[in-house]
């Protein structure tokens, strides 16, 4: 008789190698740094097959090599979340490798903060394309498959900026409010698909590197002095399949 050991970590079931059960398969966007990279490392250490997507494939290649050297299972493919066909190919790549998809972590995001009067309209469009369209493209690519499977989970990254607005972050906050609305609609429309929104406070990542406005950049430097490590985010989905944690807000203790 096979010994069965089951552990619930980060929202996904892992089993010991003697059970013969299939391991979970999780796709992560924006996986080349920050929250995406940290999530990939943590899940892989728990026996999850991770499929990593981002535009910077050289970083993905290094990350996958590291995960494999530690005994984990990882694959990668170039991904531009703003390109619907590219996202579809990413999902099909994962399906061809493992025959199933248990979760898609829509993590990719950008945050070039500035006051509206600066009229950085190209940066507005960039945030809308990555932060909103990227999530929608992930849903469009993954939902039909999950419906056919009869199971699946979307983990969509919002932000504390999706719950409040501060000077310089009007457009960014708008995109993160949109993630909340899209996720809630997706949850209500599907009783067989889990939908979780993670809204992190200031976190160690490269998001702030996209800020070109000097005033906003200086403010973010002060804000990030109390940053969470990216690893602190991944704990938020620690539930069995029949429990759907719909939203978690994670802040540094010192955050106001």
Please name the residues in contact with 221: beta carbons below 8 A apart, sequence gap of 6 or more. 208
Please name the residues in contact with 174: beta carbons below 8 A apart, sequence gap of 6 or more. none
C-alpha–C-alpha distance, residues 42 and 111, integer Å: 25
List active site positions. Answer: 172
**Which candidate, 107, 93, 111, 96, places its Cα nearest to that of 32?**
107
**Which candidate, 75, 21, 15, places its Cα nearest to that of 47?**
15
Q: 3-state DSSP call for residue 104?
A: strand
Strands (E), 55-128: 73-78, 103-106
Q: What is the DSSP letter of 205?
A: S
Q: Give the dihedral of Cα atoms 31, 82, 155, 178; nearest 10 deg.
A: 130
Q: Residue 63 in contact with residue 32, Cβ under 8 Å?
A: yes
**Which candidate, 198, 212, 217, 206, places its Cα nearest to that of 56?**
206
CB atoms within 10 A of CB 219: 18
């Amino acid at each position: 008789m096979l010994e069965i050991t089951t552990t619930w970590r980060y929202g996904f079931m892992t089993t010991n190698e003697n059970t013969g059960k299939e391991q979970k398969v999780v796709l992560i966007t924006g996986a080349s740094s920050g929250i995406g990279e940290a999530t990939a490392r943590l899940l892989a250490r728990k026996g999850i097959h991770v499929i990593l997507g981002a535009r910077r494939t050289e970083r993905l290649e290094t990350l996958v090599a590291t995960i494999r050297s530690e005994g984990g299972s990882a694959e990668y493919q170039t991904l531009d979340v703003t390109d619907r066909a590219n996202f579809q190919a990413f999902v099909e790549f994962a399906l061809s490798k493992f025959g199933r998809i248990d979760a898609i972590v829509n993590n990719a995001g950008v945050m070039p903060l500035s006051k509206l009067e600066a009229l950085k309209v190209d940066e507005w469009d960039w945030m809308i394309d990555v932060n909103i369209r990227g999530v929608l493209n992930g849903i469009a690519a993954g939902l039909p498959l999950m419906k056919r499977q009869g199971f699946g989970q979307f983990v969509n990254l919002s932000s504390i900026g999706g719950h409040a607005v501060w000077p310089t972050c009007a457009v960014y906050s708008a995109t993160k409010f949109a993630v909340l609305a899209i996720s809630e609609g997706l949850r209500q429309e599907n009783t067989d698909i889990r939908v979780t929104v993670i809204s992190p406070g200031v976190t160690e990542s490269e998001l702030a590197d996209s800020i070109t406005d000097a005033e906003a950049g200086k403010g973010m430097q002060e804000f990030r002095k109390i940053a969470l490590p990216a690893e602190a985010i991944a704990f938020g989905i620690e539930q069995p399949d029949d429990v759907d944690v719909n939203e978690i807000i994670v802040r540094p203790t010192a955050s106001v």
